[in-house]
Chains A and B, each alone.
Chain A
């Protein structure tokens, strides 16, 4: 108990902050902050597994998040029959061509010795394959994108419940991580960072521009939900009764029957969106707790000890007979899969998939700030980092506004400098993140909750 005092204290402060937002701003805002904190926590756990356990830099978090989001679309949207009829065959043919290409390359790699001719012929196969696919798929893609472009214009998905996409998102991200890991894990740390960053940009470019698969920048809206809809709740009896019960004290004060009804309606509308958010919170909390248990178990298992040994001294671990390359690849896949899961959760919560919104600032660097600030190598630290940083990211604008008003209280509102500062309040969040990161790295380089390993 004593040992974990700082963990408990840090989490209590965080909860109190969120509750304060609920009391002073609104419960809706508090819950949406809380939900995104939970999603951020899942992402930081993924990044923490890679960086904290194994010392691998992955600046491609954005790409895995987007792939998770894509999984949500592909799983939950109903298939667009017409589009499948129009171009499904061409797309399947192209998929088949890709499979053949991969098999041929594998065959060549296995069969022939490494030589210049082999390298060039593989390059030739890849280039000609891409050209072939491009020309053979072109008519199909055009046909698909022409099917009611305002509403569909893509193949759609499988029409399954969106919850499944959380697993599929993790699988997608893990698959990508397998390819990236095979290619890039041999690089030195800062090159790995640059390579993963650029690969994630390529992934986003593909998601943005392959309209037949993802609808691209036209976005997919109105995804299915695992939680009830507000509109349905507002007409359900038990829910109205529940709201009435909760607010009985408030309602009985109102004398006029019509006024009371109006107040109740207002409360039901507010309550319904809070209720939906609570449903999501419950789902996300379950995921976070399961992941926390698993990652904690892994951290203290022989496997976790091996990972730390590899992180701290790769050569020594190698000399002890540990397969460093294989373990790096494994942990890269695991961490990315968790990030993919978070991506699917994010899209599930938003109910829409907007490829244009995936930007490295928000989905890569911010997550890294979370991991570093929270404490890399410590799961509780990483989750706390997700909470603290996301909370500040959202609340920094009000805080900055308050500070500006506080310091310029004597200056009239018409002052050009003051007006300019107030206008640029949204950008103070970058300042806050940057300064926070710099201060933490300087004065508490292991984060708020540093890594603590007891040898049991």
Chain B
């Protein structure tokens, strides 16, 4: 019985939160990796682009709520996401036309692109804050829990409860659907294949008649979809605050690089690697050992490897270690 309790404990506090957080990171990381692989620069505006998409989603959510439209048990935001995506893609194409296109035609070095993306970061941050303000916004409605901890305890008679939030289920489900669609698109369709070819060898791809304008357009469209959905899911699960989104850029970068930058599948797994290591290393295992070990061996301290304050530091340290020892990432991305 104690053993089952221990498992439920780990599921509740480590596995499910890490899976959710990892899914959110994974979407962002695929976004970073696509931009890096096809447009060839590290996009420092990642976090703020995600917050822009989320902002658009929130605005549409409010509009629908004011109209009285809702999805019942599901959050209204799900209905608003497609509109948010359209808004976001429009904004990204606008930025590409006025900012990035010039440098692409000039064949500027990646460093210059990165600097320009910092300019975009500043502008996007300003736009988001001017439109929606810097404060914390919650835009979740609908049923909050699928299983409540108390109900679970009553149902199974265990000591430990398992709480399952609907946002967690939605996040994981949407991520799986979206990522499978994306991989189907990249691997099976002609446009997807030409994107991969363009990413692998630009000159060769151009020689074989691939239209670079179309590739860039499709990349921004996919990036817009990923950024908006990733941002909106994070906002639904936690809350929306522009500053947090800016900070999230860092673990997202970590996930993309750990997975091997330029490699979407690596980025996808990288998100989970980062999320799990962050949570595994900062969780206090005292209760777990109380269940597993005999009473005489129970630990006195919290059995926490690192205090939760260092959550971010964990993912950054992993990244630094990966950069030093295996710069192409765990799943072999582009060689640096």
Given A430-B129, A431-B123, A438-B120, do A197 and B310 touch, yes or no (CB 8 Å)?
A: no
Closest chain-A Cβ to B129's Cβ sits at a distance in Å of 4
Contact A197 B122 (CB under 8 A): no
Contact B310 A205 (CB under 8 A): yes
Q: Which of B125-141 contact A (CB under 8 A)?
A: 125-127, 129-130, 133-134
Q: Which of A410-452 contact B (CB under 8 A)?
A: 421, 423-424, 427-435, 437-438, 441-442, 445
B244 sits at the interface (CB 8 A): no
Which of B70-78, B85-93, B249-257 contacts its partner?
B249-257
Contact B121 A198 (CB under 8 A): no
Given A188-B336, A191-B323, do A427 and B111 touch, yes or no (CB 8 Å)?
A: no
Given A198-B253, A198-B254, A365-B118, do A427 and B126 touch, yes or no (CB 8 Å)?
A: yes
Contact B316 A202 (CB under 8 A): yes
CA distance A365 to B47 in the complex (A): 14
Given A195-B320, A198-B320, do A205 and B312 touch, yes or no (CB 8 Å)?
A: yes
Contact B115 A190 (CB under 8 A): no
Whose C-beta in chain B lies nearest to the C-beta of A425?
Answer: B130
Most A-side CB within 10 Å, residue of B118, B253, B320, B327: B118
Given A193-B42, A195-B319, A197-B250, do A434 and B123 touch, yes or no (CB 8 Å)?
A: yes
A189 sits at the interface (CB 8 A): yes
The interface residues of chain A lying within 8 Å CB-to-CB of B319 are: 194-195, 198
B119 sits at the interface (CB 8 A): yes
B309 sits at the interface (CB 8 A): yes
The interface residues of chain B lying within 8 Å CB-to-CB of A195 are: 319-320, 323
Contact A209 B310 (CB under 8 A): yes
B41 sits at the interface (CB 8 A): yes
Contact with B along A47-63 (1 / 0, CB 8 A): 00000000001000000
B67 sits at the interface (CB 8 A): no
The interface residues of chain A lying within 8 Å CB-to-CB of B110 are: 189-190
Whose C-beta in chain A lies nearest to the C-beta of B246?
Answer: A361
A72 sits at the interface (CB 8 A): no
Contact A427 B122 (CB under 8 A): no
Contact A427 B327 (CB under 8 A): no
Q: Which of B301-327 contact A (CB under 8 A)?
A: 301, 305, 307, 309-310, 312-313, 316-317, 319-320, 323-324, 327
CA distance A131 to B110 in the complex (A): 40
The interface residues of chain B lying within 8 Å CB-to-CB of A184 are: 320, 323-324
State the majority secondary structure of interface residues on A.
Answer: helix
Identify which of B42, B316, B324 contacts A201 (C-beta below 8 A): B316
Closest chain-A Cβ to B138's Cβ sits at a distance in Å of 20
The interface residues of chain A lying within 8 Å CB-to-CB of B301 are: 138
Identify which of A188, A206, A430 contacts B123 (C-beta below 8 A): A430
Identify which of A138, A183, A365 contacts B122 (C-beta below 8 A): A365
CA distance A434 to B52 in the complex (A): 16
B112 sits at the interface (CB 8 A): yes
B99 sits at the interface (CB 8 A): yes
Contact A431 B309 (CB under 8 A): no
Contact A438 B257 (CB under 8 A): no
B63 sits at the interface (CB 8 A): no
State the majority secondary structure of interface residues on B.
Answer: helix
Contact with A along B194-220 (1 / 0, CB 8 A): 000000000000000000000000000
Identify which of B112, B130, B323 contacts A187 (C-beta below 8 A): B323
Identify which of B115, B310, B316 contacts A441 (C-beta below 8 A): B115
Closest chain-A Cβ to B6's Cβ sits at a distance in Å of 22
The interface residues of chain B lying within 8 Å CB-to-CB of A445 are: 112
Contact with B along A183-218 (1 / 0, CB 8 A): 110011111011101110110011011000000000
B169 sits at the interface (CB 8 A): no
Closest chain-B Cβ to A196's Cβ sits at a distance in Å of 10
The interface residues of chain A lying within 8 Å CB-to-CB of B41 are: 190
Contact B312 A434 (CB under 8 A): no
B330 sits at the interface (CB 8 A): no
The interface residues of chain A lying within 8 Å CB-to-CB of B324 are: 183-184
Contact A191 B257 (CB under 8 A): yes
Chain A interface residue count: which class?
35 or more
A372 sits at the interface (CB 8 A): yes
CA distance A229 to B323 in the complex (A): 49
Contact B130 A431 (CB under 8 A): yes
CA distance A434 to B119 in the complex (A): 4
Contact with A along B21-52 (1 / 0, CB 8 A): 00000000000000000000110000000000
Whose C-beta in chain A lies nearest to the C-beta of B134?
Answer: A427
Whose C-beta in chain A lies nearest to the C-beta of B317?
Answer: A202
CA distance A434 to B327 in the complex (A): 31
Contact B122 A430 (CB under 8 A): yes
Contact A434 B122 (CB under 8 A): yes
Identify which of B121, B246, B309, B317 contacts A434 (C-beta below 8 A): B121
A368 sits at the interface (CB 8 A): yes
The interface residues of chain A lying within 8 Å CB-to-CB of B116 are: 437-438, 441
B59 sits at the interface (CB 8 A): no
The interface residues of chain B lying within 8 Å CB-to-CB of A435 are: 119, 123
Closest chain-B Cβ to A436's Cβ sits at a distance in Å of 8
Contact B320 A437 (CB under 8 A): no
Identify which of B115, B323, B336 contacts A368 (C-beta below 8 A): B115
B184 sits at the interface (CB 8 A): no
Identify which of B118, B125, B313 contacts A437 (C-beta below 8 A): B118
Contact A191 B327 (CB under 8 A): yes
Most A-side CB within 10 Å, residue of B41, B102, B324: B324
Whose C-beta in chain A lies nearest to the C-beta of B325?
Answer: A119
Given A190-B41, A421-B130, do A437 and B122 touch, yes or no (CB 8 Å)?
A: yes
Identify which of B126, B305, B313, B323 contacts A205 (C-beta below 8 A): B313
The interface residues of chain A lying within 8 Å CB-to-CB of B114 are: 57, 189-190, 193
Closest chain-A Cβ to B332's Cβ sits at a distance in Å of 16
Interface residues of A (CB under 8 A from B): 57, 131, 138, 183-184, 187-191, 193-195, 197-199, 201-202, 205-206, 208-209, 361, 365, 368-369, 372, 421, 423-424, 427-435, 437-438, 441-442, 445
| 9 contacts across the A-B interface (CB closer than 8 A) | A184-B320, A184-B324, A187-B327, A189-B114, A199-B316, A205-B313, A365-B122, A430-B126, A434-B123
Interface residues of B (CB under 8 A from A): 41-42, 99, 102, 109-112, 114-116, 118-127, 129-130, 133-134, 246, 250, 253-254, 257, 301, 305, 307, 309-310, 312-313, 316-317, 319-320, 323-324, 327, 336
Q: A427-B130, A430-B126 are in contact. List 9 more A-B contacts (CB 8 A).
A: A131-B305, A187-B336, A190-B41, A194-B253, A198-B316, A199-B316, A201-B312, A201-B316, A205-B309
Interchain residue pairs A-B with the least CB separation, the first 9: A434-B122, A434-B123, A431-B126, A430-B126, A437-B119, A427-B129, A198-B316, A209-B309, A438-B119
